[in-house]
Amino acid sequence: MRGPHNIVRLIRTGATLERTGAMKVIMDAVEAPRAVRMAVRTLVWPFQWLGLKGDPKLPAVTRALQALGPAYIKFGQILSTRPDVVGNDLALQLRVLQDKLPPFPVDVAKAEVERELAVSVDNVFSEFSEPVAAASIAQVHKARLRDSGDFVAVKVLRPGIERAFQKDIDAFYLAASVIDTFSPSSRRLRPIDVVEHFEGVVLSELDLRLESASASEFADNTKNDDGFALPAVHWPLSGRRVMVLDWAEGINAADVEAIAAAGHDLTDLSRRVLQLFLNHALRDGYFHGDMHHGNLKIAANGDIIAFDFGIMGHLDEYTRRVYAEILFGFIRRDYKRVAEVHFEAGYVPADRDVDEFARALRAVGEPIFGMNAEKISMARLLSYLFEVTERFGMQTRTELILLQRTMVVVEGVARTFDHRMNIWDAAKPVVEDYIKDSIGPRAAAADLVKTAQVLARFGPRLPAMAEAALIKLNQDPAPAPRRSYWPAVGWTVFGAGLAGIVIAVLDLVS
C-alpha cells in the first residue's frame, strides 16, 4: 500500500461524501457512535470544498459514489448485497445505483481487442458498432462475424481499469483498518472482511476468462430448462480482457408494454422467471446473482434470455437442503420445523430457546400469509427472517445474503410481469420436487453411495492408516484402553468392506 496516495484519496472521498450529504446517511446506516461522527466531521468538514459535486438529482449516496468513479460504483453495488453491513434502507438505495459511465471510443476498444486476441478486428468482424452499453468495468459492442455473418456481443474491459481499481482498493483497506482500530463498536460490521469480499468479486470480474467459464457452466446446468436460454461463449475470441458471446436478440425485460404487444403471456413469464431461479439455486446450487431487468431479455419465441455473468452465486448441497427445508416449512406454516432446521444447521447458537425462536418465526410468517396474493412477498419474508435470526445471534453467511438479495430482485421482476402473482404458489412445486429428490429415502441412499465411493477411493490406504494409528497409540505415554481404539479400527475395516461391496453392486448394475 502506498500511504500518501491512500491518504489523499481518502481525503477526497470524505470530502465528496460530506459535500453530497452521503456522510450522514452512511453514519446512520452503520449506527456510528456520536464520538466517531464528531471526529469524522471535524476531520472532513474543512476539506469539503475538495469534494466532487456529483449529480444533484440522485440520492446522496448514489450521487457521491457515481462522482467518485468506477471502483466506488462497484463497491456500492456489492454493498447492496450486504444489508447485514449497511442496513436494509441503504442497501435498497444502493440497489438502484446506475452502473453507467461515459463510454470510451470505439477505436480504443478495437485496439484492446487486437492487443488481447492478437488478431485484426477487420479480419474477424465485418461490422463493429459504437458502444451499446457502458458500465463501471467494461463496455459492450455489437459486431458481426466475417466468416459466418452472425451477430455477437463483444465485451471489452476499460483501459487501465485494473490499475485504477487497485489504487482504490488500497485506499479502502486503509479506511477499513482505521475504522477497525478506532471504532470498536463498528467491528461487528467486519470492515476489513467486507473489503476483502469486494476485492475478490472485482478481481474475478477483471478477468473475463472467469466470466466466460461462469457462462459456460451455467449453460451446461440449464441446457434442458424449457423457456430459458443463454448466449454461447466464443472461446477462440475470448481472453482476459475481451469476451465474445452470441448476440441476445429480444425485448428488454423492463419493457413490459412491448413484451405484451408482442403477444407474450405475462403471467407465464412471471411464474417462469421465479421458478427458473429457484431451480438454479436448489437443483444446481449455481445461480445468476444479478438477475435484474437489465440482464434479461424476452426472445421472440418467449424464452427468457439471461446475460452478464460477472456475479454468480454458489450453494453447497447441504446449504441447499437447509434453504429448501426452511422455505418448505414456511409454505406449510410449520414454524417449529423451520426453527429446528436453523438449530440443526448451526445457524442459531445452541444455547438459544428453540420454542421462543419458533414463536418469533410465527410472528414473521403469519402476517404475510394473511395478505392477499398481490401482497404476499417472499422478499419481505426473507427480510423479516434476517432481522429475527440476527436478533437470535445468527452469524452472517455471505452466500445466503446474496441468495436473499437475488430473491428480492427476481421477485421484483416477476411482479413487473404480473403484480397479482402468488409467489408462494409459484414456488411450492419447485421446493416440493427438490424436497422429494433431496431429503427423502432416495436421497439417503444416494448419500450412502457417495460415502461408500469416497471410502473406496481411500481403500488402498486404509490398512496403512490403521497401522499408523495403532503405532501412535502404542507410543503414547498414557495409552488409552485397548477397547478405545480397536472398535475404530474395526469400523475402518468394515467401512472399507462396505465400500467395496457397494462399488461392486454399482458396477454390476451399470
Whole-angstrom CA distances from 467 to 128, 418, 455, 481 are 67, 66, 17, 17
pLDDT at 227: 94
Residues 6 or more apart from 393 whose CB is under 8 A from it? 348, 349, 352
Report how far residue 112's alpha carbon sits from residue 241's, in angstroms, rounded to the nearest whole number: 8
DSSP calls for 3-58 = HHHHHHHHHHHHHHHHHHTHHHHHHHHTT--HHHHHHHHHHHGGGGGGS----TTS
- Inter-helix orientation angle 70-79/191-205, to 10°: 120
Decide yes or no: CATH 3.30.200.20 for domain 105-157+207-247: yes
pTM of the model: 0.71
Which amino acid is residue 118, in one-letter code? A
User: From CA 232, how far away is CA 246, in angstroms rounded?
Assistant: 5
For position 503, what pLDDT does the model report? 43
> Which of the 8 DSSP states describes residue 233?
B
For residue 128, the model assigns a pLDDT of 97
pLDDT tens digits along 335-373: 899 889 888 888 788 888 899 989 988 887 777 666 655
CA distance 250 to 299: 4
pLDDT per position in the chain (510 positions), as tens?
Answer: 455 666 777 777 888 888 888 788 877 776 667 776 777 777 777 777 777 888 888 888 888 888 887 778 877 776 775 665 666 677 767 766 655 667 899 999 999 999 999 999 999 999 999 999 888 789 999 999 999 999 999 999 999 888 888 878 887 787 777 777 766 655 555 677 777 777 777 777 889 999 999 999 999 999 999 999 999 999 999 999 999 999 999 999 989 999 999 999 999 999 999 999 999 998 999 999 888 888 899 999 999 999 989 888 888 888 888 888 887 888 788 889 988 988 888 878 888 889 998 998 888 777 766 665 566 666 566 666 666 766 777 665 666 667 777 887 888 888 889 888 877 788 888 888 887 777 666 666 666 766 766 667 766 777 777 778 778 777 765 555 544 444 444 444 444 444 444 444 444 444
Residue tagged active-site, from 225, 290, 303, 308:
290
Q: Which long-range contacts (CB under 8 A, 24 or more apart) does 167-171 make?
A: 167/5, 167/9, 167/71, 168/9, 168/69, 168/71, 168/72, 168/75, 169/71, 169/195, 169/198, 169/199, 169/202, 170/1, 170/2, 170/5, 170/6, 171/5, 171/6, 171/9, 171/10, 171/13
Contact 187, 220 (CB under 8 A): no
C-alpha triplet 112, 114, 117: angle, nearest 5°? 100
Please report the pLDDT score of residue 434 as a whole number. Answer: 83
Distance from C-alpha of 138 to C-alpha of 145, rounded to nearest angstrom: 21
Q: Report the C-alpha gap between 260 and 481 in whole angstroms.
A: 77
CB atoms within 10 A of CB 316: 10
- Residue 230: all three cell numbers together: 443463454
Domain ranges of the chain: 3-99+162-198, 105-157+207-247, 250-439, 447-509
Q: Residue 211: its pLDDT value, please?
A: 93
Q: Which letter does DSSP use for residue 145 in this model? A: E
Residue 472, classed as helix, strand or coil, is: helix
Rg (CA), the chain: 27
pLDDT of residue 499: 44
pLDDT at 360: 87
Exposure b/e, 320-343, CB count within 10 A at least 16 = b: bbbbbbbbbbbbeebbebbbbbbb
Contacts of 446 (CB under 8 A, 6+ apart): none
Give yes or no for a contact between 176 and 194, defined as CB atoms under 8 angstroms apart: yes
290 carries an active-site annotation: yes
Of 207, 193, 172, 160, the closest CA to residue 1 belongs to: 172
Check if the beta carbon of residue 386 is closer than 8 Å to that of residue 83.
Answer: yes
How much of the chain is helix, strand and coil, in % rounded to 5?
Answer: 65, 10, 25
Q: Compute CA distances 486 → 405, 471, 490, 499, 508, whole Å.
A: 51, 12, 6, 20, 33
Tell me how crowded residue 122 is: count the other CB atoms within 10 A of its CB.
Answer: 11
Name residue, grid cell 475470441.
237
| CB 179 within 8 Å of CB 273 | no
